[in-house]
Structure 1
Amino acid sequence: MAIDNSSLMSEIFPAIDPLAPLALSIQANRRVFALFLGSGLSVSAGIPTGRDVVHLLIRKLACARGQECGDDPEAWFNAEFKDDPDYSKLLETLYPSASERRNALNDLFEPGELDQIHGRKRPTQAHHSITQLVKQGFFQVILTTNFDRLLEQAFTEANVPFTMVRSSEEAERIDPLQHIQTLIIKVNGDYKDPDIRNTTTEVSVYPAGMEKLLKKVFTEYGLIICGWSSTSDIGLRGLLTENLSRYTTYWATRGEIAEKARPIVMARQGVFVTIEDANVFFSDLEMKVAALDRMAHMTPLTASMAAEQVKFYLSEERWDIALNDLVVRETRSVSSRLLSMNDLEKTPKVITLNDYGLRIQEYDSVLSSLVSMVVAGSFWGRQGHNSLWGSSLKAVLDTVTDSGTNTWIQLQWYPALRLLYASGISALASKNYNLLRTLLVDTKVSGYGIGNDIPAVMKLFPFNILKLDNDVASRVLRLNYSSSMFPLSDKLREDLSKEFTDIVMQDAEFLYLFDYFEYLCCLVHADYFKRQSNEARGSFSSFIQRSNRGNPHNPLLGVENEIKRDGANWAPLQAGFFEGSLERARQIKHEYDERLVEIRKRY
C-alpha cells in the first residue's frame, strides 16, 4: 500500500523537513533514482498543462460551432455533448493527422514576441536545479511526458552533455545504460517530432523499443515523480504498475493525486512528498542534497576544503545563510579551543623555548581552516559579507584573557593578529577597502589594561605582540629568522603566502600586498595617535627594509603615487580612512614618513 510518511515523520521528528529523507536518499545513492517529469514542471514558464490545452481546444471547438463557451469551457462541453471533455478525443477530432496536431501545438511551445519580453517559455528554476543535480552526478536518467524542450535548453546552457531518446527506433539504438552519462527519455516525443504521441490510442501502447527501455528504467531505478497526473497516460500507468523496482518511488504532489494514479502508488509502495510547486521543490532539493554532500566530505574539515566550501557558497547569493552558518560554526570551534588553551591553569608557570614554540604551532593548527576561509571569503565575498569577517575577528579577539605571565598574555593576541593579516591582505587584493576599515578600525579591542575601546589595528601589530626585549619570544622566532629584526612579521609573510597561491600569480605581488598592508596599518596608527596626542607616531615592521626609493615595489612610493593619481577619490579615503580627508591623509603620511627616516637608520 502507499505510504504517506510525511505525517508520521512530523510526529516522530517534528522539526525534520519532509524533504530531508528524500535528500538523504539521493545523496547516499547517486544515479539510483530516475526523474519522471510531467507538464507541472513547465507550467510556471507559461507552457500549458494538459488541462490548459483541453480548455483551449474546447474554445476552438466552440468558435468553430459559432458559439461562446464562457469562463467554464468544461461546463459548456458537458452541456453540449453530455460527456466529459477528453484531451485525446478533442485533439484527434480537431486535427485528424499527426502532422496537423504537431503544427497546432507549435504556438503553445515556441516563445512569441511577448513571451520573450516577459521571459516566458524559458527554463524555470526547476529546470536549472535539475540540471545542477545532474551535473553533480546525482541523476542519470530523466523521463518526461513533456513536449517542450526546456530541459534540453537548460542542459545545453549549463554545458551538460546528454543522450536523447524520442522514439522507439532511438531507444533500440542506444548504448547500455551503464555507459551513458545522462539520458533524457521523451516518452511521447516532442512537439517538433513527426511521431509525437498525444492521443489516447497513441499513448495506450508503446512500440517495442520504447517499451523495453521503459521497463528497464522502471525496474532498475527508483523514481521521483513530479508534475505528472497520469490521467491520460494509459500505457505508462500499466508499465509502472507491472514493472516494479526494489528502490523507492517518491511522488511529489501539490495535493491529492489523481484517482487513476493510486494503483501505481500502491503497487510500488510509493511515498508521497507534499510540495508547494515544482520550482520550490527542486530548488530546495538541490540545496539540501548539495549541503548533505558537502557535509559528507567535511570530516575532517581541512583548510583547503574549508576554502573551497566558502568559494562555493559565495558563488550564489542563495547560499548566504549556509555561508554564515559555516563561518560561525568554525569561528565558535576555534574560539572554544583558544579559550581552553588560554586557561591559566593549563599555562606553564615557567616558560621555556620549547613551550613557547609549541604554543605558536598549536595556535597555527587551530586557526588553519578559519584562516583559509577568511582569505577566500575576504577576496571573493560581496560587501554584504564584510560584517561576517569582522565578527569572526572580534570573536577571536575576545578569547584573550589577562591571566598568566606577560609573555603568555602577549602571545594570546597572536591568533587574532594572524586572522587580521589573512583577511586584511585578502581584502586589499580585492580592493575591498570597506572591509579593511571594518577589520582595522570598526572592530574594537577593550579591557586588558588598555583603557577605552580602541581600533583592533592599534593592538594587533607584530611589534605590539612580540617585544624585542622579550628574550624567550625573540629567541624562538629567530630560530627560523635569525637575521631578521622583524621575525613575527616575517613568519606571517612566509606562512600566509601559501594561502594566496590561488589569488595572486607572483610572489612579488604578494610581497607588495603584504608590505602595503603593513604600511597602511602604520598610517592608521599614526592617524589615531595624531588625534590622541597631536603626534603622528605609528608602529613599523619589516616593510621598512624594502622602503628605499629605488625599489619599484616600495609601498611608500605606491601610496604616494595613488594619492597623486586619485586625489580625493583615493580608495582608502572613500572607505572613511583619515576621516575621508585628502589633506589629512597627506599630512599623516608626510609626518609618519619623516619619522620612518629616523627609524630606518636604526634598523
Structure 2
Amino acid sequence: MEWYREEYRREPDYSDLLGTLAKSPEDRNAILRKYFEPTDEERTRGIKMPMPAHKAVAELVSAGYVRVIVTTNFDRLLEQALQERGVESTVISTADQAQGALPLVHTNCTLVKVNGDYHYTKIKNTAAELGSYDERINSLLDRVFDEYGLIVCGWSATWDIALCAALERCRSHRFTTFWCKCGNLEDVASRVANFRLAEPIEIKDADTFFQDLTAKVAAIEQFDKPHPLSPKLGSAMVKRYLVDERERIALHDFVAAETEKVCAQLTGEKFPAMTPPTNEEFVKRIHRYEGFTEILVAIITTGCFWGQNSQQLLWAKSLERVANAKDLWTGISLWVDLRLYPALLLLYAGGLGAVASGKYATLAALLVKPRYKGAEGESSLIHKLNWLSVIESNPNAPNLLLPNDGRKHHFPMNEYLHRCLRPTLREFVPSDSDYDEAFDRFEYMFAMVWVDEKPKTASAGWVPLGRFVRNYSVLSSVLHHGQPVGKIIDAEVEREGENWPPLRAGLFGGSMERFRTAKQHVDSFIGGRSQYLY
C-alpha cells in the first residue's frame, strides 16, 4: 500500500487497479475467478464457502420470511446456502433473465445479482460500469424497492451509483427499510438511508446480526400459537350453535372460517418440501402442525360428539378441505407425506368423538365421504390417511415421537395420536379405560372400512392396524387388561344382528355380508402378525 502511494501519489482504488490490470470484461473475469472458487483444501477449511450470514439468510428464506434478495456480489455463496436448505431460487444476473423472469410473487425466492455473476463475463466492476443498469434491471429494481420492505446490510453504497439511483427513484415508502451499520454511515449511504426513512440498526457484523435475527424469528414462531383458551372457546362456540337449529348457517360459516385459517398455514412456504431431512425438523413440523390445527381439532371433536346427522357433512367437508390444502406434490417424500398429518389429526379427533357418543352416521361420513385429489387423480381419502402413509419415510419416528418410553412400539404414530388427543377428548371421555376402548374401536372400524372401501379390482393385501392389536394374544390381553375389540364387536353383532348401530348408520353399505367380509380380512391379517407385535 505504501509503495503504491509513493509510486502513484494517490490512494489505491479497486476500480482503477482492476481497469489497469484487465482492460476487458473477459480479462477481469479470468482474474477474479480464482478469488471465488475454493480449492479442495480451502473447501475443507471452510474458506470461500457460505458464511453464517449466508446460512441464516437461507434459513429465513426457507421459513418464508424473505422472498427477494438483491446483492452486489458476484460469488455464488448465497446460491450454495439456499441449496443446502433445499430452496429452489430464481437467479437474475442479466437483463435478459430479468425480462423473462416469473413475477416475484410466483417464486419462493428471487436472487437479483445487480452486478452480474462471476461465471459470466458481463459483470460490473469498474466505476464506469457501476454507473448505470440496463432498463430491464432498473424496471425490476423499481418493483422490488416499491413493493417490499428492505433490510440493508454490508453495503457501503459508495461505488454502486446505479443502485443508489434505483433506491432514490422510489418515492413511496410503504414498507420499512432497516439499515444495518457498524458505527457511522458514509456520506452516500447516509444520504440514501435518510431518503428511504430507514431505521438504523447498530450491529457487530453481518454473521452475528443474521444469526440473532433468525434465532429470534424462530423463537417468535415457536410461541406464536393460538391462545391456550382458543380451543376451549372454539368448542364452546360449536356447542352454542348446535343447540339452536336457527344457528345452522352461523355454525357452517364458523367451521368454514376456522378450516380456511388452518389451510392458509399449510403452504409450501411454511412447510417447504425440499428442506434437508433432520430429526429436529421432523419433530418441529409435527408440533407446528398440531399448533395450527388445535382449534379446529377441538371444533371437530365437539361437533362429532354432540352434533346431529344433519351436520355430519360439515365435519366431513372440513376434513376433506384440510387434506387437499397442500399446494405442492413434489419434493422430499418425508415432507410431502407429512403434509397429511393435520388431516390425520382431524380424522382421529372426529372419529373418536363420534365413536365415544355412538354417532356412527357421523363416523361413516368421516370415513367414507371425503375424497382426496392427488397427482394421480381422485380417490377415497381414507386410503391416504393412515399412520404408514404419514410417517413411512421416517424410520426414526418411534424414537422421535415417543422418546425414553422404554417400550417397543410397532405403531408409533397410533400410540402418539392416542397420547396427543387425550387432553382434547378428556372432556367427553373422562375415564382412561373408556378412552382406550373408544380409541381401539375407532381404529378397528377404520381398518374394516378401509378394506370395504377398496376398489373391487384391488387385491386384499395390507391393512392399517393400530393399538388394538396389543390385545390379540393371550399374554398381551392379560398385560393390557383388555379384550380384543374384534371379539366385543362379534358379541354385539350376534346380539343385535341387522340392528347393529354401525350397519343401521350405513357403514358397509348397511350390508351384513360386506361387514363380515371386511372383518374376516382384518382378523386374518391380524392373526398372521399379532404374535410378533406385543
User: Which of the numbers 315, 320, 324 marks the counterpart of 2:252?
Assistant: 324
Inter-partner Cα distance in structure 2 for 1:358 and 1:333: 20
Tell me how far 1:454 sits from its aligned partner. 2.5
Contact 2:508 2:514 in 1 (8 A): yes
User: Which of the numbers 423, 426, 430 marks the counterpart of 2:357?
Assistant: 430
Contact 2:473 2:531 in 1 (8 A): no
Contact 1:390 1:438 in 2 (8 A): yes
Inter-partner Cα distance in structure 1 for 2:227 and 2:391: 35
Tell me how far 1:342 sits from its aligned partner. 5.5
* Partner of residue 413, structure 2: 488
Distance 1:366 1:601, change over 3 A: same
Distance 1:513 1:454, change over 3 A: same
Query: Aligned partner of 2:282: which letter?
Result: Y
Structure 2 residue runs of 5 or longer lacking an equivalent are: 1-225
Query: Aligned partner of 1:384: which letter?
Result: S
Q: Deviations over 1:269-299 (max 9, x none)?
A: xxxxxxxxxxxxxxxxxxxxxxxxxxxxx98
User: Which of the numbers 371, 374, 393 marks the counterpart of 2:300?
Assistant: 374
Contact 2:391 2:397 in 1 (8 A): yes
Q: TM-score, normalised by structure 2?
A: 0.53
Distance 1:577 1:584, change over 3 A: same
Query: Aligned partner of 2:352: which letter?
Result: I
Inter-partner Cα distance in structure 1 for 2:384 and 2:406: 25
* Partner of residue 308, structure 1: 236
Contact 1:458 1:525 in 2 (8 A): yes
Contact 2:306 2:357 in 1 (8 A): yes
Contact 2:473 2:530 in 1 (8 A): no
Q: Does 1:560 align with 2:485?
A: no
User: Which of the numbers 351, 354, 373 marks the counterpart of 1:446?
Assistant: 373
Determine which structure has more spread, i.e. the larger CA radius of gyration.
Answer: 1
The SS at the match of 2:457 is helix
* Partner of residue 17, structure 1: none
* Partner of residue 281, structure 2: 355
Q: Deviations over 1:69-122 (max 9, x none)?
A: xxxxxxxxxxxxxxxxxxxxxxxxxxxxxxxxxxxxxxxxxxxxxxxxxxxxxx
User: Which of the numbers 524, 536, 547 marks the counterpart of 2:449?
Assistant: 524
* Partner of residue 388, structure 1: 314
Tell me how far 1:534 sits from its aligned partner. 5.3
User: Which of the numbers 426, 437, 442 marks the counterpart of 1:512?
Assistant: 437
Q: Deviations over 1:237-267 (max 9, x none)?
A: xxxxxxxxxxxxxxxxxxxxxxxxxxxxxxx
Tell me how many residue pairs correspond in the alignment: 301
* Pairing 1:181-260 to 2, within 5 Å after superposition: none
Inter-partner Cα distance in structure 1 for 2:404 and 2:246: 45
Query: Aligned partner of 2:374: which letter?
Result: G
Contact 2:274 2:332 in 1 (8 A): no
Runs (4+) off by over 6 Å: 298-301
Query: Aligned partner of 2:365: which letter?
Result: T
Tell me how far 1:517 sits from its aligned partner. 0.5
Contact 1:343 1:403 in 2 (8 A): no
Distance 1:569 1:598, change over 3 A: same
* Partner of residue 466, structure 1: 391
Distance 1:387 1:343, change over 3 A: same
Q: TM-score, normalised by structure 1?
A: 0.47
Inter-partner Cα distance in structure 1 for 2:355 and 2:442: 7
Q: Deviations over 1:516-554 (max 9, x none)?
A: 100111111222347233536422122101234655442
* Partner of residue 500, structure 2: 570
Q: Does 1:333 align with 2:261?
A: yes
Q: Deviations over 1:403-425 (max 9, x none)?
A: 32000011111100000000111
* Partner of residue 407, structure 1: 334
Contact 1:310 1:376 in 2 (8 A): yes
Contact 2:449 2:507 in 1 (8 A): yes
Inter-partner Cα distance in structure 2 for 1:506 and 1:465: 29
Contact 1:463 1:540 in 2 (8 A): no
Query: Aligned partner of 1:358: which letter?
Result: K
* Partner of residue 523, structure 2: 593
Inter-partner Cα distance in structure 1 for 2:414 and 2:405: 10
Query: Aligned partner of 2:244: which letter?
Result: E
Query: Aligned partner of 1:511: which letter?
Result: D
Distance 1:417 1:480, change over 3 A: farther
Of structures 1 and 2, the one scoring higher in RCO (CA 8 A, sep 6+) is 1
Inter-partner Cα distance in structure 2 for 1:420 and 1:428: 12
Inter-partner Cα distance in structure 1 for 2:294 and 2:470: 29
Tell me how far 1:473 sits from its aligned partner. 3.4
Tell me how far 1:317 sits from its aligned partner. 1.2
Query: Aligned partner of 1:514: which letter?
Result: F
Q: After alignment, is 571-580 or 308-317 more displaced?
A: 571-580
The SS at the match of 2:318 is helix
Contact 1:536 1:591 in 2 (8 A): no
Distance 1:334 1:301, change over 3 A: farther
* Partner of residue 140, structure 1: none
Contact 2:472 2:484 in 1 (8 A): yes
* Pairing 1:167-182 to 2, within 5 Å after superposition: none
* Partner of residue 109, structure 1: none
Distance 1:341 1:595, change over 3 A: same
The SS at the match of 1:445 is strand
Contact 2:402 2:416 in 1 (8 A): no
The SS at the match of 2:325 is coil
Inter-partner Cα distance in structure 2 for 1:466 and 1:482: 21
The SS at the match of 1:538 is coil
Contact 1:512 1:554 in 2 (8 A): no
Inter-partner Cα distance in structure 2 for 1:460 and 1:340: 20
Q: Deviations over 1:345-404 (max 9, x none)?
A: xx5531111111111110010011110111111111111111111111011011233132
Distance 1:475 1:502, change over 3 A: closer
Tell me how far 1:308 sits from its aligned partner. 1.1
